[in-house]
Each structure stands twice: as C-alpha cells, then as structure tokens.
Structure 1
Amino acid sequence: MPSQFTYHDPAIKNLLVLSSYLYLLNVFEWIAQYVLSAGLLGQILLGIIYGSPLAEWLDVHWQETFVVVGYVGLLLIVFEGGMTTSLPTLTALLPLSTGIALTGLLVPIGFSFLLTPMFGFPLLHSFAAGAALSSTSLGTVLALISSSGLSLDLQQTKLGTALLGAAVMDDVVAFVLSEIIHLLGESDNSGSSTLGVHIGRTIGVTFGLGIVVMPVTRWILRPLYLKYTRSIYRHKAGQSGLLLMMAVMFIGMTAGARYAGTSPLYGVYVGGLIISYLMQTEAELSLEPIHGDVVSIGDEEGIPASREFEGNPMPGDRLRRVNTHPSEVPMDRLPTRLPEETPPARTPERQHTTPTFLSTFEHYISPLLLYLLLPLFFGSIGYSIPFIPLWRGRVIWKGIVYTLFMLLGKALTGIWILFWPIEGKRKVSWGQTMKLRMPAALLLGFAMIARGEIGLLISQIAYTTSEQQLTEEEFLITTWAIVLCTILGPVGVGYVIKRFKVDVVRGGWH
C-alpha cells in the first residue's frame, strides 16, 4: 500500500516565511519589552501581521498548528507556576484569592449590563459580552510576573501567589461560561435541558479533582517518591528520571482534567502543586532547612533593601530566578545513599548538587518555552483579532467606552490588597498602610485586566453559534474591549514595576 504522505523539499517561500516569523517573534518581544515593558504585545502584533488579519503569510493550516503548539506552551508555564507555588502560602491566601476572583468576575459582568441602556444590547447579549470580559488571561499573568526583571521572583511572594490563585479560579469559571454561551446558542433548544448538567459536572469535577488529589499525593505519590530518592536509581536516572515524572504528571493531569469536564489549565496547575509538595517534602527530610535566596525590600518591617533592579531585561533574563522554593539541594544533605555505602571524600571537584524538578525544568524545558512555545502562543492570539473590521467609527468609540468600564471592573480587585490583614505585621497607621500597599494593589489590578485568549474564545463562541449571542457590531465592540485591555494591562504592570521596583511587595506582601 503506498504511503499517504510523500516527502519533498519545502518551497523556499515557506522556509523564508517560517524562519523569519520564528526569529521576529523574539525580536518583537524584545522591542516591546524595551519600549512598553510588555514583550508579549510585540508577539501579538506580529501574529496580526503574519496571520489572517493582515498579510496572511502564514497558511491557515500553519496557524492552526501554531495555536496547538502555543497552547502547549501555555500549559507548561501554568505547570511551572504550580511547581514554584508555596503550598502553605497558597492555603493561607486562598480566601483572598477567592475574593479577588469573584470581584474580577462579577463586577465586569455587572458593568456589561450597562450596554443595554447605552448601546441597545439585548440582555442576553450583554451577558455574553460580560462573560468574555470577566475572564483573566492566565498565560499573560504568568508571563508578566515571570519576566518582571526584578531581583525577586514575584511568583513566590504573597502578592504573586494570591494573583495566580485568582487567575486560575477565573480560568475555571471562564471555562464554565464558555460552555454556557455555547449551549445557549444551540438552535434545537436542547441547551436549556443540559445546561445544568454541564455546569454541575464542571463544578463537581473541579472540586472533586482537588479533593481526590490530596490523599493520593499524601499516601501514594509521596511514599513512592521518597523511596525513589533514597534509592540508587535516583543517581543513575538523574534529570532524565525527573523529566519523565514531570512528563507523566503533565500529560496525565491535562488529559484527566479535560476528559473529566474541567479546564486543562486547572489540571496542569494542580499537577504543578503536586510536584511542589513532593519537593517540599524532600527538603523537609534533609538534615537542615533548605532555602533559596530570599530577596526582601527595605521598609519599616526590618527587611534589608534590595540593591538590584533590571528595568528592561533581555528575553533571556527571565531564566534567572531567585527561588525561595528549594531548587538546588546539596547532594550530601539528602538521604539518598544506601546504609552500606561509604560517603566519598569531599573535594572541590566532587562538590555538586543533585538534580531537582525545578532545576530539571529550567535545564530542559525553560529555553524551549521561552524562545519558541510562548512566542508562538502569544503570536497565535493575534491570528484571532479581526483587525481591519475594528476600524469603523461607531465601533471604535463604543469599544473605547466599554473598555473604560472593563478596565475599572478588573482594577477594583486591587482594593482587596489594601484592606486584607497580614499576620505578624507590625501595626502602623491606616494612612501609612495604604501608602505602603498601593503599589501592590496597582500591580494586582493591572495584572488582572488582560483578557487575551480566553476573552477572544468566549466572544467568538457567542458570535459563531447558530443562535448568535453577539451580532457583528456587538462582537467588534467586545473585541475592542478585549484587545485594549490585553494591551493596557501589561503596559500598566510594566509601568508599576519600573516605577516602584521591589517596593511593589511592601506592606507585608513579600
């Protein structure tokens, strides 16, 4: 039987387009990072230029492929976010993250109902627009806080943990809202009978997955992993063994979450938290506590001031992290040798560290993620922006008005930072507390603003269903708000970081 695919040399046009696109994704990222402190905006712009909205140099099949490949990058950065999250801090700040997420969801939806008296949207269409604008781009949030250029890792601060937790909750709810919009747009009226089933299934699976994972991790995965760390196979397998474990966890949680009926981003985040728990357990069983470099920020709380800030980092600077999470554990501080073994003499040449999950991820995956997968992900967002139809007079001004409400709706989440009590913090006056916490509140508010891929997904579902939840003009108005929020959110984060530097985590949010 003849082969279904015949190999042939690629056309020179395809080679030039593809190679230039992959290279310029990183060039545009650097330029946008230097000018706006938001490199992802350059990649989105290049996606608009090369994709269907403008030049259409990339074939439609290529764009579809890059959407899939880029989404793998999104899943990986969420997985890394879970790995670098401190579980005790996440647990302590879970009520705060819930409050931030609910504010960021309900306020934009509430403001969206103003579209009915202002622009004549039907109520159901106002809800569809609000559903699209209630989301938060999890990929954008992680990209922003991981490429901040600060001398500390924002993901491991209280502020970053609360922000990431809220963004994950927003993603799960956005997944539910996308299902609701899809079912409401069905023409056979069967959506109403299955709507409750879909919502209940998603909510049940989301909570159930988190509940089931805890005992499985504690009583099954933890003993198995500790047994592995004490065996000689840990040294023989090295980073390859840890990479295999991460791959199994990543693929298993992605598939399990999606087939069960919830967001795969939530699944990989939980998978990352499992890896974080295993690393924490391994560190606790070492001979002494293991910590990374703790960068603190000089205020009246007795924290020494940081001496370094890189305002506009090159793309590669994102790989340099300051981890409070154990990432490099000295080999002689882990119970990995068998009892009958005699420890070798310690010489300068033999002093090395045993590989960990984080060091393995940064060695094998981070360069690929940084220079290929994430650029393709943000570039793929640009493919879905209807660039030319946006430039209609009445659509522009209505979109700008709607954007102002949507900016305010997410920015209000920063109020939680101003008033949330911090245990162990020395009492200061109310006015001084507000002054100290204002940079953190601004950073969180701006980081929650970007809608990105999730907002575009929901709005396109509402526009393309058989019973449209958004007309063409309403879809374009909604798209204006999504695009402008995705631009202004990262720009605001970049300005706050450049203006306040490490002071963004003052007031007890370090």
Structure 2
Amino acid sequence: MSYLPYEEPGIVTILSLTSFLILLNIVRYLLDRLVYCGIIGEILIGVVWGLPIGGYAWLSKSAQETIQMLGFLGLIAIVFEGGLNTDFAMLRKAAFLSVSVATVGLLLPIALSFVLLVLPFPTSSGPTLFPTPLAAFSSGASLCSTSLGTTFAILTSSNLQDTPVGALLIGAAMLDDVVGLVMVNIITMLGSGRFAAWPISRPIVASFGMLLMTLLLTPIVLKPIWVVIANYLHPVESERNTNSFRTRISGMVLALPHLRFLLSLLVLISFVSIASFIDASELLAAFLAGGVFRVIYCSSITILHPSTSVEETPSMMYAVYFQPTIQTVLAPFFFASIGFSIPISEMFTGQIVWKGLLYTILMALAKGSVSVVIYFDYFRVIWCRERKKLQTTSVQQQTYQETNTRSRTGPPHAAAILVGLAMIARGEIGFLIASLSQSSNTLTLKSDEGLNIESNKEDLFLVIVWAITLCTIIGPLGVGIMIKRLGEHAKESLTINWL
C-alpha cells in the first residue's frame, strides 16, 4: 500500500492525548508559580503517561515516538530563543569562566564514577560481580554533560538569561553539548572494539569550526549583504510612486505575510541542516542561528515591520510567532519525552535503589563542585587587584582604593551555589549516552576471577538511570527554591561584578 489510509482515532486515544497535554500545562504552571521548576512536573507526567499503569499504557509506543520527535523541535526552538535573548558581549566576557566550569563539570563525574568499581552486584546463582573500568567510564560519560534544554528552561523561568550568571551557564552548557557528541562517538567505538581519532574529534572540529565561521562571516559578510538587500527594498522617496522594477520587487517582498517569521525559520533551518551535515552540534547551531538572526534583524528593522513606528525586538517576534506553540505544546512534549525514557517499573529493587541513591549523591557533588571555580576566579581577581594596589604610588593608591572600595563586594556565594545547582541537571543527553552504552555492551560486570559477564539484568544501567533522573530533578528544583528565597533581589544577589 503506497498511502496511509485515513482512520479516526478512538475516544481512548483522544482522551489520553487531551488529558496529557492539559495536565502538562497545568502542572508546569503550578510548579512555576511555586518553585520556578515546572519542567519537573512535565517529566513526572511523562513518566506516568509513558508507562503501563495497571497493565495498560495510556500512550501507545507510536504516540510516544511522535511526541519525542515533536519535543526535539521544541528543544531546538528553546535553544533558538536563547540565542535571540543572550547578551553576546557578556557571553564573551564569561568565556574563560564558562570553559573552566565546563571542564571541571566534565572531569569530576568521570573520575568519581570509578567508585563503581567497588560496588558489588550479587547474582542469584554464581559469584558476586563488579563493574569493569570500561563500564565505570561509560557511566561517567553518561553523567558528564549538562542538559542544554533544561538549562535554558531554568534561565527562562527565573528570568536570568541576560545576567552574567546566565551567560556563564549558557557557555558551559553549550560546551557540554559538544562534549556529549564526542562521548557518543567514544562509547560507540569502545563497544565495537575499534578506535579512530577522526570520528571522535570530528564533532569538536565541526562545532568549533561552525562557531568560528559564524563569528567571522556574520559581521563582514551576512550583515552587510542583508543591509544592502534591505536598502534596495526600501526605495528613496522619489521612486516610491513610480512603477520601476525596484518598486515592484519591494512591494512584492514587503507584501509577504509574516516575513520576519519566515526569515527566522530560514535562518534556523539553514544552520541546523548544515550542522547535521557536518556532524556538528545541532543545538549549538540553533543557538548560533538565534544570534545571527538577532544581528540581521536589528540591522534592518524597518523591512521586517515597516508599518509600525514602535521598535520591535527579536524577542517580541519570538513571543508572537513561536512562543504560543512552543510554550504550550512542543516544550512540554520535550520534557515529557525525558520521562518516557525512565524505566521506573524496573528501578525499585533493593540492590538498585541504594546504589542509585549513592551514585546520585556522587554525581550531584561532582557537578555541584563547579561552584569552586566561581570562588577561585573571584579570589584571583581580588588578589590581582591587591597586587596592583601595592604597585601604585601613594596618591594613585588613595584614588585606586576609593574606586576599589566602591566596586569590591563580598564572595559570590549566591552565584556560586546557583551555578552548581544549575549544572547538576543531566536530562536528554544523559539518557542518550546511557542507552547507547547499554546497546554497545560497554556496561559489563566482572567476577572476582576477572571474567567479563554482560549485565543481562541491566543492573548498572538502572543505577545510571537513577542518577540521571534524580539529578535532572534536583538541579531545577534547587535553582527554583533558591530563586524563590531570593525574591525580587535575585538578579542583584547573583551579580558577578568582576566579569
């Protein structure tokens, strides 16, 4: 059959999808108002609707797969919004700190995961088994990357995207996303027994190459070309009443409905397609697309809405065309699809629970330790200031001391804690690497005699899932509670003055 016959969905399907969508929005709204972490409710709704409850699945496998694909569109749109709203000047200032935070957050989870080597996995018949070093590395790889979608959702719900802390988190999460692609390739090769340098390094080279080319071409090629096009489509006053070719073309283009929306989609689709073709990070591409569209949009604002005298920002365009669908359908679908990935019915056995909780604590501490980087950078700046002050003359010293007194603040406790909490969330990238580790047979256990035995009961995989799930809940919940306690003074309390 070369076509899909049209069939009416049954009432059970209609009610399941309707209740699913309504509850996603209700639970998110309530939790956002209470603790600024509505995504936790969406994940939990995904757990309930994605699993057989009482022997019956509320959503079929095909429906879950469709929701998962639509949810990924929501993730791309969330990251695109981040590119539209991010202060790139502030992001550039926070680049070194972002790299430091991302590096610490990458290495510590992998290092602490080798504690798994001493965790016993008893069997009903046979010797007690222990994870292999390869399994420990695969476990750490599953928990070394921070969820980019969750990070943007946290920053958006708490209105911190345009702050130094927000820029720092965005930069670190972007690097984590690229590292996640590298880990996917490493796990695949370790499972197959083949190892080659280029397939591993290709995502890094492609992603950073795309970043550098975008930074280079946008101001010297894309922006000037777009300004020329915009000027051509806006004839001078003397030509507007004539029937010239330029006037006709201008009228045809400006008559297109929703021009700014179509242009934003063109930029977004182009960047994501290029990234997919060259094996770069598609989410990094979506972020860059947001930044590029912001530049060309602001450079020719009149062509995109010539009939209004009010200056419209890219964020306003996003709010009109993207936000209603993204906020109520696609973004909830994304976070619910994370819940689909949690095999909760298999996780509650005694041996799995305590190991999962222990591993969760280790992984939360590993990512939360990035707070130390904030303190280290703060005291480095203070030390440099004190050293500079000692090198000045007495008159200069007095002037410098007055300036330094005005600008110097206490240690950034709130900012450090928030960065640590926000980096804890793993989300979609963690489940992806964990599932790949399981299918690649890298999560193996060994006996005391050193014989490798495949983990048929998926015990180690379930321990990893425990850590990913709880970290994805702990991070946003901790940030939400902290923002709630800081109240109206959240932005002032989270300022990083030395950036």
2:58 partner SS: coil
Partner of 2:359: 402
Q: 1:355: how far off?
A: 4.1
Partner of 1:171: 177
- Whether 1:79 and 2:57 are equivalent positions in the alignment is no
Partner of 1:147: 157
Partner of 1:293: none
- Whether 1:207 and 2:208 are equivalent positions in the alignment is yes
Larger Rg computed on CA atoms: 2
- Whether 1:487 and 2:487 are equivalent positions in the alignment is no
Counterparts of 1:392-431 in structure 2, within 5 Å, are 392-421=349-378, 427=404
1:481 is matched by which residue type in structure 2?
A: A
Quickly say closer, same or farther: Cα 1:221–1:64, change in 2 above 3 A. Answer: same
Partner of 1:506: 495
Partner of 2:167: 161
- Tell me the alpha carbon deviations over residues 443-472 of structure 1, each in whole angstroms, 9 at most, x when there is no partner: 111110000111111111111225545831
- Whether 1:108 and 2:109 are equivalent positions in the alignment is yes
2:473 is matched by which residue type in structure 1?
A: I
Report the Cα distance in structure 1 between the residues aligned to 2:472 and 2:372, rounded to whole angstroms.
Answer: 21
Q: 1:402: how far off?
A: 1.0
Q: 1:3: how far off?
A: 5.8
Counterparts of 1:260-271 in structure 2, within 5 Å, are 260-271=278-289
Q: Scaled by the length of structure 1, what TM-score is found?
A: 0.80
2:97 partner SS: helix
Report the Cα distance in structure 1 between the residues aligned to 2:407 and 2:285, rounded to whole angstroms.
Answer: 40
Report the Cα distance in structure 2 between the residues aligned to 1:183 and 1:49, rounded to whole angstroms.
Answer: 35
Partner of 2:348: 391
- Whether 1:254 and 2:272 are equivalent positions in the alignment is yes
Q: 1:499: how far off?
A: 1.2
Q: Residue 81 of structure 1 contacts residue 272 of structure 1 at CA under 8 Å; is this kept in 2?
A: yes
Quickly say closer, same or farther: Cα 1:37–1:154, change in 2 above 3 A. Answer: closer
2:254 is matched by which residue type in structure 1?
A: K
Quickly say closer, same or farther: Cα 1:178–1:159, change in 2 above 3 A. Answer: same
- Tell me the alpha carbon deviations over residues 132-173 of structure 1, each in whole angstroms, 9 at most, x when there is no partner: 11010111111111011xxxx411111101110100100110
Q: Residue 47 of structure 1 contacts residue 383 of structure 1 at CA under 8 Å; is this kept in 2?
A: yes
Q: Scaled by the length of structure 2, what TM-score is found?
A: 0.81
Report the Cα distance in structure 2 between the residues aligned to 1:131 and 1:495, rounded to whole angstroms.
Answer: 28
2:9 is matched by which residue type in structure 1?
A: P
- Tell me the alpha carbon deviations over residues 182-206 of structure 1, each in whole angstroms, 9 at most, x when there is no partner: 22112xx3x32xx312112112111
1:170 is matched by which residue type in structure 2?
A: D
Aligned with residue 366 of structure 1, among 319, 323, 331: 323
Percent of residue pairs bearing the same amino acid type = 34
Counterparts of 1:92-491 in structure 2, within 5 Å, are 92-119=93-120, 120-148=130-158, 153-186=159-192, 189=193, 191-192=194-195, 195-230=196-231, 231-232=233-234, 233=250, 236=254, 240-279=258-297, 281=299, 352-421=309-378, 427=404, 433-434=410-411, 437-466=412-441, 468=443, 471=455, 472-491=458-477
Quickly say closer, same or farther: Cα 1:389–1:95, change in 2 above 3 A. Answer: same
Partner of 2:50: 51
1:353 partner SS: coil
- Tell me the alpha carbon deviations over residues 211-238 of structure 1, each in whole angstroms, 9 at most, x when there is no partner: 2223322232101222344333499258
Q: Residue 132 of structure 2 contacts residue 444 of structure 2 at CA under 8 Å; is this kept in 1?
A: no
2:337 is matched by which residue type in structure 1?
A: S
2:429 is matched by which residue type in structure 1?
A: I
Report the Cα distance in structure 1 between the residues aligned to 2:367 and 2:69, rounded to whole angstroms.
Answer: 28
Q: Residue 443 of structure 1 contacts residue 504 of structure 1 at CA under 8 Å; is this kept in 2?
A: no
Q: Residue 143 of structure 2 contacts residue 430 of structure 2 at CA under 8 Å; is this kept in 1?
A: yes
Q: Residue 105 of structure 2 contacts residue 366 of structure 2 at CA under 8 Å; is this kept in 1?
A: yes
Per mean C-alpha deviation after superposition, the further-off stretch among 446-455 and 27-36 is 27-36
Q: Residue 105 of structure 1 contacts residue 134 of structure 1 at CA under 8 Å; is this kept in 2?
A: yes
Q: 1:380: how far off?
A: 0.6
Report the Cα distance in structure 1 between the residues aligned to 2:469 and 2:61, rounded to whole angstroms.
Answer: 22
Report the Cα distance in structure 1 between the residues aligned to 2:268 and 2:140, rounded to whole angstroms.
Answer: 32
Partner of 1:26: 25
2:340 is matched by which residue type in structure 1?
A: Y
Partner of 1:60: 61
Q: 1:473: how far off?
A: 0.9
Equivalenced residue count is 437
Q: 1:417: how far off?
A: 2.4
Report the Cα distance in structure 2 between the residues aligned to 1:443 and 1:277, rounded to whole angstroms.
Answer: 30
Quickly say closer, same or farther: Cα 1:260–1:497, change in 2 above 3 A. Answer: same
Q: Residue 239 of structure 1 contacts residue 360 of structure 1 at CA under 8 Å; is this kept in 2?
A: no
- Whether 1:11 and 2:13 are equivalent positions in the alignment is no
Report the Cα distance in structure 2 between the residues aligned to 1:185 and 1:351, rounded to whole angstroms.
Answer: 59
Q: Residue 79 of structure 2 contacts residue 287 of structure 2 at CA under 8 Å; is this kept in 1?
A: yes
Quickly say closer, same or farther: Cα 1:53–1:81, change in 2 above 3 A. Answer: farther
Q: Residue 87 of structure 1 contacts residue 276 of structure 1 at CA under 8 Å; is this kept in 2?
A: no
Quickly say closer, same or farther: Cα 1:336–1:254, change in 2 above 3 A. Answer: closer
Quickly say closer, same or farther: Cα 1:237–1:433, change in 2 above 3 A. Answer: farther
